[in-house]
Amino acid sequence: MLIKKPSDIRPSEITSHDNYLNRREFIRAGAIAGGSLLASSALGAVIPEGQLAKLEGVRASAFSTGESPNSYDDITTYNNYYEFGTGKGDPVVYARDFEPRPWTIRVEGHAEKTGTFDLDDFVKPFDLEERIYRMRCVEAWSMVIPWVGISLAEVVKHLQPTSKAKYVAFETLNDPDRMPGLRRRVLDWPYREGLTIAEATNPLPILAVGLYGEVLPNQNGAPIRLVVPWKYGFKGIKSIVTIRFTERMPKTSWNMSQPREYGFYANVNPEVNHPRWSQARERRIGASVFATKQPTLMFNGYGDEVAHLYDGLDLRRNF
C-alpha cells in the first residue's frame, strides 16, 4: 500500500469528489426550494482575474448529470488543445504562462448587437451555473466535468440574431507568440467551429468560464470556451475571440482538414464509426486500465433533450 506524505498529496485529493458532489446537490436542492438563497441574477456573472481564483455566485443547474465528476487532475492534465501542442500532456505545460487577460470578444454578422466587447461586459448580464456534463472525445475516451458557465441560448437571445442567421460560427485566438502550437501547420489556423441556430439555442450548450468552481485553467480553454455535451469534444472550441452569425454553414477546422473523418454535426453516435476505429465503446479517463470499456450512448446520453433537433436528418451522412 502506498502511503503519501503531505508534500505528495495533490490539492484535488484533499476533499473527495463525492463530498464535492454532495455539496452541490445540497445547493441544488436549496435552489429548487427557494432560489433567493443564491446570488441574484441581477448581479450577473463576474469573472475574477488570476488562475484558480474562486468564482462567486454560482448556481447549481438542473441540467447536471448525477454522475461523479472526474478528478481535477484528470480534467486539467489530459487535454486536446493543439494551439499548445498535439500531445495530451502538452497543454498543461505549454499553456502555463498564457495570459488570458485582457480579453475581448467580437460579435459579427446577422445580429442586432454586434461589436467588440470586453470579456467582463460580455459575461456580466448572465448567471453563472455549474453544469456537471458527460463529455466524449472522438478518440473514444470520456470524462465527467463540472463546468461553470453561462447559457449559450441566453447569450444568443441577448445578441438578437436576425432572421438571416441560420448558424453561429466561433473562432479561437490566433496568436503564435502566445500559443506556440500555432507555429506548426497542424490545422488551418485559426481554429473554427460552428452550430446551427437551433443547436445554439437549445438549453444544454454553455460558454464555460470555469470548472470545479474556479476560473477556467489555461489548458482547458481560458478565458471562455464552448461546451456542447451531446457532441464530440472537438466541437468545444476554446479561447473564443469571435462569434459570428451567418446565413451559410460555416467552415470548421477538423471538417476542413479531414472531411471524411470529422463531420460538421459531430453528434456522439455509436452507430457511426470513425474511419480508423469504432465509436461503440469508450474508456472513462481515470478508470483502471483493466476496467472494461463502457457502451457509448447515442447523443452521449442527452437524446431526450436534443434528438428532436435532427428529425428527418440522416445521421450517417450528416455525421
The reply to whether CATH 3.90.420.10 applies to domain 17-309 is: yes
* Structural domain boundaries in the chain: 17-309
Per-residue pLDDT tens over the stretch 238-289: 999 999 999 999 999 999 999 999 999 999 999 999 999 999 999 999 988 7
Band the pLDDT of 19: cuts 50, 70, 90: low
| Residue 201 DSSP SS3 | coil
| Residue 171 DSSP SS3 | strand
Per-residue pLDDT tens over the stretch 25-62: 444 444 333 333 233 344 578 898 877 899 999 999 99
pTM: 0.87
Q: State the pairing for strand pair 225-227/206-211.
A: antiparallel
Burial class (CB in 10 A: 0-12, 13-18, 19+), 185: exposed
- What's residue 301's pLDDT? 98
The rounded distance, in Å, linking the Cα atoms of 104 and 117 is: 5
Q: What is the dihedral of CA 147, 150, 151, 155, to 10 degrees?
A: -150
- What's residue 38's pLDDT? 32
**Predicted confidence (pLDDT) at residue 191 exceeds the cutoff of 50:** yes
Q: What is the mean pLDDT of the chain?
A: 88
